[in-house]
Amino acid sequence: MKIGKIEKFFVNSKWNERNRLNSAKELFNFAQLEGELDCLEIGCGNGAVSKHFAGKYHSDVIGTDVDPEQIELAREGITDIPNIEFLLADATSLPFEDNRFDVVMSFQVMHHISNWLDAMGEVSRVLRPGGYFIYADLIYPELLAKFGGFLADRFRMNMYGVTTLQDLASFIEKNGFSTLHTSCNRSLFGYHFKAVYQRN
């Protein structure tokens, strides 16, 4: 789902870029990122995390986003980075073959996708066995998620992806991931949740 102009302003702000990069750097420490890796970032936005990963780990990186403006922004200044590209793609229908990547990253993206479980299914599909899923996003309490779902049904509203800890844990278990790290901090409406998973 594309975001509105006001939200895009905050998503592309230096403050948000710094927070995304800090989250990424923290989580990278819980994965063994060695050798030449194929990496995918879903919802890359302005491409800051993808560019950092390509430079630090000397790996091939593809960043995707559903918004053409974000892809154009991400492509700025990459002429001197030969191992990176940015593509327009829907996270729920990725244009890549099965088992394509060693690392898949998603930072503050899934809550923008109403059918986020389809996007998570694509993560599982394109990630190689032994590969890492590095994830950070908003997680909602069960009661708030149920109330949001009720409002969406009652007023026929399009909702962003409402992810709960229970839903996420169920997906991880059913799709054969091992949990290497999780952390959870309270926010205004839910939790800032971070995790590193490894596909079995």
Evaluate whether 138 touches 192 at the Cβ level (below 8 Å). yes
Alpha helices in 12-129 (DSSP H): 14-28, 48-57, 68-75, 116-126
HSE, CB side, 13 Å, CA atoms: give it for residue 165: 14
Picking from 134, 116, 125, 130, the residue whose alpha carbon sits closest to that of residue 170 is 116
Evaluate whether 135 touches 106 at the Cβ level (below 8 Å). yes
Kindly report, residue by residue over 28-78, the tens digit of the pLDDT. 999 999 999 999 999 999 999 999 999 999 999 999 999 999 999 999 989
Strands of the sheet containing 84-88, edge to edge, are 84-88, 60-65, 38-42, 101-107, 127-139, 191-199, 177-186
Nearby residues of 119 by Cβ (< 8 Å), 6 or more positions away: 42, 91, 92, 106, 109, 110, 113, 161
When pLDDT is cut at 50, 70 and 90, the band that residue 155 belongs to is: very low
- C-alpha 19/C-alpha 163 separation (Å) is 21
- C-alpha 200/C-alpha 197 separation (Å) is 9
When pLDDT is cut at 50, 70 and 90, the band that residue 166 belongs to is: confident
- C-alpha 152/C-alpha 100 separation (Å) is 36
Region 96-107: mean pLDDT is 98
Lowest mean pLDDT among 5-19, 72-86, 151-165, 174-188: 151-165
Q: What was the pLDDT predicted at 149? A: 47
Region 17-34: mean pLDDT is 95
Domain 37-189 has CATH 3.40.50.300: no
- C-alpha 105/C-alpha 47 separation (Å) is 12
pTM over 0.85, yes/no: yes
Kindly report, residue by residue over 82-93, the tens digit of the pLDDT. 899 999 999 999
52 or 156, higher pLDDT: 52
Q: What was the pLDDT predicted at 13? A: 81
Kindly report, residue by residue over 116-150, the tens digit of the pLDDT. 999 999 999 999 999 999 999 988 775 544 444 43
Nearby residues of 108 by Cβ (< 8 Å), 6 or more positions away: 11, 20, 43, 136, 137, 138
**Quick one: the chain helix, strand, coil %, rounded to 5?**
40, 30, 30
How many of the other CB atoms lie within 10 Å of CB of 84? 22
